[in-house]
A and B are shown apart, each in its own frame.
Chain A
Amino acid sequence: MTLLQIEGLGINFGGLAAVDKVSFAAKPGEIVSIIGPNGAGKTTLFNLISGIYTPSCGRVMLSGQDITALPPHRLAALGMSRTFQNLQVFQQMSVLENVMAGCHMGEGNHIFADLLALPATRARTRKSRTTALELLGRVGLADQADQEASALSYGALKRLEIARALATNPRLLLLDEPAAGCNAVETEEIDNLIAQIAEEGIAILLVEHDMKLVMKISNHIVVLDHGKKITEGTPQDVAKDPKVIEAYLGSSAGKEVSNAVG
Chain B
Amino acid sequence: MNSISTKYATLIAMVAVIVIAPMFFPSSFYYRIGALIFINGLAVMGLVVLIGYAGQVSLGHAGFVGIGAYAAALGPIYLGLPPVLGIVLGALISGSLAWLIGRPILRLRGHYLAVATLGVGILIYMVLNNEAQLTGGPDGMPVQAIGLKEFLKSIGYSVKGSVMWYWLAAIVLLVGAVIGLNLHDSPTGRALRSLHDSEIAARTVGIDVARYKLRAFVISAVYASVAGSQLALMNKFISPDVASFLHSVELVTMTVLGGASVIFGALVGATILTALPQVLTMFEDFEHVLLGLIMMLVMIFMRAGLVPSLIKLIRRLTK
Complex Cα gap A168–B202 (Å): 11
Contacts of B261 in A (CB 8 A): 92
Interface pair B185/A125, CB less than 8 Å apart: yes
Of B29-37, B187-195, B232-240, B263-271, which binds chain A?
A: B187-195
Place the interface of chain B in its size category: 20 to 34
Complex Cα gap A165–B219 (Å): 29
In the complex, A154 has a CB within 8 A of chain B: no
In the complex, A124 has a CB within 8 A of chain B: yes
In the complex, what residue of chain A is closest to B308 when comparing beta carbons? A92
A113 to chain B, nearest CB (A): 8
Contacting residue for B187 out of A82, A84, A104, A146, CB 8 A: A104
Interface pair B200/A164, CB less than 8 Å apart: no
Report how many residues on chain A are interfacial, defined by Cβ distance under 8 Å. Answer: 45
In terms of DSSP, what is the predominant structure of the interface of chain A?
Answer: helix
Given contacts A52-B200, A89-B201, contact A114 B206 (CB under 8 A): no
In terms of DSSP, what is the predominant structure of the interface of chain B?
Answer: helix
In the complex, A73 has a CB within 8 A of chain B: yes
Given contacts A72-B200, A90-B194, A93-B194, contact A115 B182 (CB under 8 A): yes
Contacting residue for B204 out of A81, A97, A98, CB 8 A: A81
Interface pair B191/A82, CB less than 8 Å apart: no
In the complex, A121 has a CB within 8 A of chain B: yes
Interface pair B182/A116, CB less than 8 Å apart: yes
In the complex, B198 has a CB within 8 A of chain A: yes
Interface pair B197/A114, CB less than 8 Å apart: no
In the complex, B14 has a CB within 8 A of chain A: no
Complex Cα gap A99–B194 (Å): 10
Chain B positions within 8 Å of A, measured between CB atoms, are: 2, 179, 182-183, 185-191, 193-194, 196-198, 200-209, 215, 219, 261
Chain A positions within 8 Å of B, measured between CB atoms, are: 50-52, 71-73, 75-77, 81-82, 84, 88-94, 97-98, 100-102, 104-105, 107-108, 110-111, 113-117, 121, 124-125, 128, 146, 161, 164-165, 167-168
Sample of 12 further A-B pairs with CB below 8 A, known A71-B203, A73-B204, A76-B203 = A76-B204, A77-B206, A82-B204, A89-B197, A92-B196, A101-B190, A104-B191, A107-B187, A115-B182, A115-B183, A117-B182, A168-B206
